[in-house]
Amino acid sequence: MKIIEALKKIKDLRRKADDLVSKVKQHCADLDCETPIYPDQKRQISEWIQAHSDIVKEILHLKTSITRTNLKTEVTIELGDKFVTKPICDWIERRRTLANLEEVMYRSLTDKGLKDTYQNQLTPNAPVTIIKKRLYFDPIERDKKIELYRSEPSKIDSTLEIINAVTDLLEK
């Protein structure tokens, strides 16, 4: 089974689990003056609960296999002018939060709105002092990093879509 198949199966299993919860909720009790919907309603409820339990076990099995696969499968992605190799799980975390954290750091590098100014001296005929702003970073490098980290999630997405479609789940 491929990763994408397992992800879709988990989604379908969750839908089925929700349906079973709904059925149990609807039919788990009634008044003795009502006619039960099922011939042996108690047995039916027990069967739905067991089916739900089996679904939960299958979801866990699939998620564990996906996690194992994500930990052990190395993927190389070109970022900027470098090829970077990491396990799928690292790429997922970079996609979710870490690339954005990197971008936020580089976006914090600004000139803070400072302008070069002139300061007149208090004594007559004294030269005017020019006060210049100083930057403790390279603006060109900052802009490159911002663009790199802004585009990283889409590169990760496109690569992992392919990887998820072609990579087999790793069982125990």
pLDDT in tens, 75-131: 999 999 999 999 999 999 999 999 999 999 999 999 999 998 888 777 777 778 888
Q: Are residues 78 and 162 in the same domain?
A: yes
Tell me if 67 sits within 8 A of 171, measured CB to CB.
no
In the prediction, which pLDDT does 28 show?
96
Of 3-12, 30-39, 83-92, the least confident: 30-39
Q: Are residues 113 and 159 in the same domain?
A: yes
Q: Are residues 118 and 52 in the same domain?
A: no
Distance set, CA 51 to CA 39, 58, 169 (Å): 19, 11, 24
Q: Are residues 92 and 135 in the same domain?
A: yes
Instruction: Please state the pTM of the whole predicted model.
Output: 0.82
Residue 171 covered by a domain: no
Alpha carbon distance 166, 146 (integer Å): 31
Q: Please identify, among 72, 91, 125, the residue that sits at the C-terminal boundary of a domain.
A: 72
Q: Please identify, among 40, 57, 72, the residue that sits at the C-terminal boundary of a domain.
A: 72
What is the span of the domain harbouring residue 60?
Answer: 3-72
In the prediction, which pLDDT does 120 show?
74
In the prediction, which pLDDT does 145 show?
97
| Mean confidence (pLDDT) of the chain | 95
Q: Are residues 49 and 84 in the same domain?
A: no
